[in-house]
Structure 1
């Protein structure tokens, strides 16, 4: 899944709940979202409202079911690149006693120009199958921007002759991951392709 690098990720529960079919065979965003997302119509409406007439160059999707005492809550995310921007969509089901059914969907969109991405990092876990053939077992992609996400103070050294307070800057970053247990080989391959696309497109 992708998320801000400093955030926590909900536990992965594979094969729980409706939808959730493997999206990797689908080349079109509409088809992949329809097979994978529980709220595909809301996701596509939000993404296309920003995308306009621009063509989708690549995308990756994530769907996680978080099991709590209150029941199952679906966490859904999409990252879409149109060649100029990275469009990030996220939704989470929230309890609301006043809403019919007791739940509402928190849907949000964030748009990043590719010029704001200063670093693309990708780490691939490569192994062998029973026949000795190469197999990609997982992939991790990190995007770091120049935008500040967290600024924390560092106390001055009391033993220094010139004690000077300092601050530690943490840039906003996003991470994407797939593994054999979380997504399978098809989604691993799609995320590798997506990471390479972003690596080629970000301005030098």
Structure 2
């Protein structure tokens, strides 16, 4: 991006910060296609990619007062998009795990509330485990097990070797196995889904 172009974007961000709707519309048109392509590459789903774009700009509008025109606006947008995609992937994993959990105990409907409480514990445990992983390893795990990308696709995306991805994934899975010891029910539920 040329200096004049950067300055133009910075001016639009400043205008947006002051609530200028025309500046918002300009930035939306400017970045919509790029963000869609980025989100689609991560999700492989057109509808979800469109939702990510909408949510990114909703967040931009909501946070407009705290925008910094000297900040790299491109980077800001793509960071929001990436976080949205990963959070959606985690929510899908939780939903899947809960469905499996309820199916395993559906014969005992009267314990539905108890199941929900235990699911919240499961969700908290998974969140704690994900957070405990080093950032790159967490990213590799999410891309592999939650987004369904192959090791080669992940290596290409992260600009590294397939063996490096395999190493990260093996370490992540070993770590998760250790953390799930003593949680037999959770382990059984996640066994096939996460391929532990």
Greater radius of gyration (CA): 2
Which structure's residues are more often strand, by fraction? 1
Please give the TM-score of this superposition, normalised by the length of structure 2.
0.25
Q: Which has the higher contact order (CA 8 A, sep 6+)?
A: 1
